[in-house]
Structure 1
C-alpha cells in the first residue's frame, strides 16, 4: 500500500507539473507560437521543423496539436499546413524522454526552491512566469524521483516481476501503454514511468518499447476530443494524427524484433533508461521520414472521406437551377 501511495503521489506531481508547465509556457510564448506556426509552414519540411520546435518549447505535443486544430478551425492554417506540424510534434515530444532519462531527479528540489523564490519576489510578470516554468520543471523531476524511490522494493516482488515479463509481448505491451495513456492523458507520463521502472531494472527493453508504442496511440484521445464541434478541416487534422500514429505503430510492430536489436546495437553500453529514450526518438523520427511520401495519398483520402460542406452546397446550388430549367421546359412542352 505504501508503494502504491508513493507512486500515486509521484505520478500526481508529474501530471500537475506537466499540465501547469504547458499552460505557463503557452501564456509566456503562446501568441508567438501562433505566429511561428503561420510563418514557418510554407511546405511540409518547414512544418515538421516548426512542429518539433514548438513542442520542445511548450513541452507538450498535445498542446501543439490542439493549438494547430484550433488554428485550422479558425482558418489561420490550412489542413495541408497542419500535416507537417502534427508529425513534428511527435518528434518534439521525444525531447522530454531524453531529459527524463538523465538522472537529475535528486537535484530537483534546487529548481523548486529557486522557482518559488523568484516567482514570489519577481516584479515583472514575464520573470514571474519564467520562474514558474523553473518551478514546474523541478516538480516534474521530483515526481519522477518519488516514483523511482517508491518502486525500488518491487525488485524483490515475484508477482510484480512476473506481470512485467508479460509486457514483452509487443501487442500486450502496446495495449497496456495505450490504456495507461488514455487514463492519465499524458504520453510523456507513460514514457516517464517506463524509464523510471527501467532505472530500477524492473522492465526490459522489449517491454518498455512496446509500452512506448502504445503511448503514441493513447495520446490521440485528447486531440480527437479537440475536434468536437470543429469544421471538417480541423476534424481531418485530428484524424490525420490518429492515422499517422496507427500506421507508424503497425509498422513498428511488424519489425519489432529487428527494431529492438537495432536499439541494442546503437545504444551499446548505455543504460536501459537511455536506450528507451533513444528508441522513442528514433521511432518517431523514422515514422516521419517513412510517412512523408504517403502524405499526398492520405490527404486525398481524407478529402474524399470528409469533403468540404461548402463545395457540396455549391454543387447542390448549381444542380438546382438546371433542374428548375428542365422542369420549366417540361411544363412548356405540356
Structure 2
C-alpha cells in the first residue's frame, strides 16, 4: 500500500508539473509559437522542423498538435502545412525522454527552491513566468525521483516481476502502453514511468519499447478530442495524426525483434534507461523519414474521404416554393 501511494504521489507530481509547465510555456511564448508556426511552414521539411522546435520549447506534443488543429480550424494554417508540424511534434517529444533518462532526480530540490524564490521575489512578470518554468521542471523530476524510490522494493516481489516479464510480448506491451497513456493523458508520463522502472531493473528493454509504442497510440486521444466541432480541415489533421501513429506502430511491431537489436547495437554499453530514450527518438525520427514519400498519397486519401464543403455564395437567390 505504501508503494502504491508513493507511486501515485510521484505520478501526480509529474502530471501536475507537465500540465503546468506546458501552460506556463504557452503563456510565456504561446503567441510567438503561433507566429513561428505560420512563418516557418512554407514547405514540408520546414514544417517538420517547426513542429520539432515548438514541441521542445512547449514540452508537449499534444499542446503543439492541438494548437495546430485550432489554427487549421481558424484558417490560419492549411491542412497541408499541418502535416509536417504533426510529424515534427512526434520528434520533439523525444527530447523529454532524453532528459528523463538523465539521472538528475536527486538534484530536483535545487530548481524547486530556486524557482520558488525567484517567482516570489521577481518584479518582472516575464522573470516570474521563467521562474515558474524552472519550478515545474524541478517538480517534474522530483515526481520521477519519488516513483523511482517507491518501486525499489518491487525488485524482490516475484508476482510483480512475473507480470512485468509479460510486457516483453510486443502486442501486450503496446496495448498496456496505450491504455496507461489513455488514462493519464500523457505519453511523456508513460515513457517516464517505463524509464523509472528500467532504472530499478523492473522491466526489460523489449517490454519498455513495446509500452513506448503503445504510448504513441494513446496520445492521439486528446488531439482527436480537439477536433470535435471543428471543420473538415482540422478533422483531417487529427485523423492524419492518428493514421501516422498507427502505421508507424504497425511497422514497429512488424520489425520488433530487429528494432530491439538495432537499439542494442546503437546504444552499445549505455544503461537501459538511455537505451529506452534512444529507442523513443530513433523510432519517431525513422517513422517521419519512412512516411515522407507517402505524404502526398495520404493527403489525397484524406481529401477524398473528407472533401471540402462548397460554400454557397451569399448573394445567390434561394429557391422557394409557392
Q: Shared fold by TM > 0.5?
A: yes
Residue 232 of structure 1 corresponds to 232
* Matched positions, count: 318
Partner SS, residue 76 of structure 1: coil
Q: Distance in 2 between matches of 1:198 and 1:65?
A: 29
- TM value normalised by structure 1: 0.94
Matched, 1:15 2:18: no
- TM value normalised by structure 2: 0.97
Give unpaired runs (5+ residues) of structure 2: none
Residue 213 of structure 1 corresponds to 213
Q: Distance in 1 between matches of 2:3 and 2:297?
A: 49
CA RMSD of aligned residues (A): 1.4
Runs of 4+ in 1 over 3 A off after TM superposition: none
Residue 332 of structure 1 corresponds to none
Residue 142 of structure 2 corresponds to 142
Residue 2 of structure 2 corresponds to 2
Residue 328 of structure 1 corresponds to none
Partner SS, residue 310 of structure 2: helix
Partner SS, residue 77 of structure 1: coil
Q: Distance in 2 between matches of 1:309 and 1:4?
A: 52
Q: Distance in 1 between matches of 2:5 and 2:53?
A: 36
Give unpaired runs (5+ residues) of structure 1: 322-334
Show the 5 A alignment for 1:100-119: 100-119=100-119
Q: Distance in 2 between matches of 1:102 and 1:285?
A: 20
Residue 223 of structure 2 corresponds to 223
Show the 5 A alignment for 1:1-334: 1-310=1-310
Q: Distance in 1 between matches of 2:261 and 2:146?
A: 31
Q: Distance in 2 between matches of 1:52 and 1:304?
A: 28
**Cα deviation 1:10-37 (Å, max 9, x = unaligned):** 0000000000000000000000000000
Q: Distance in 2 between matches of 1:265 and 1:67?
A: 37
Q: Structure 1 residue 309: deviation in Å?
A: 1.2
Q: Distance in 2 between matches of 1:44 and 1:119?
A: 39
